[in-house]
Amino acid sequence: MSVTSERSATLNRLKRIEGQVRGIAGMIEQDRYCMDVLHQIQAVKAALAKVEDSVLADHTSSCVNEAIASGDAEAQRQKFNELVDLLGRIKR
């Protein structure tokens, strides 16, 4: 898949998520059953996790790969530390 098509797919996913979030807000306004709302929240979280995975994969295949190929030890360290910091925040 090309960068443009991957970006387009990611944007489409985010637009669907946006619609889901608006739907959840509507459910809360309508005082819908809590478990139904929670199921929709879980669906949004799962969809966001897929977007996160896609963006992370793109980052590693482009930005991190470029730092490795450059041979610049400082750039490599920076990209590595960015990933470590991100993964540390994800675990919390």
What CATH number does residue 60 fall under?
1.20.58.1000
How far apart are the C-alpha atoms of 51 and 62, rounded to whole Å? 16
- The pLDDT value recorded for residue 6 is 87
How far apart are the C-alpha atoms of 42 and 62, rounded to whole Å? 30
* Domain count of the fold of the chain: 1
- The pLDDT value recorded for residue 1 is 67
- The pLDDT value recorded for residue 87 is 87
Q: Which amino acid is located at 44 in the chain?
A: V
What residue ranges of the chain have pLDDT lower than 50? none
- The pLDDT value recorded for residue 49 is 95
pTM of the predicted model over 0.85: no
- Owning domain of residue 8: 3-91
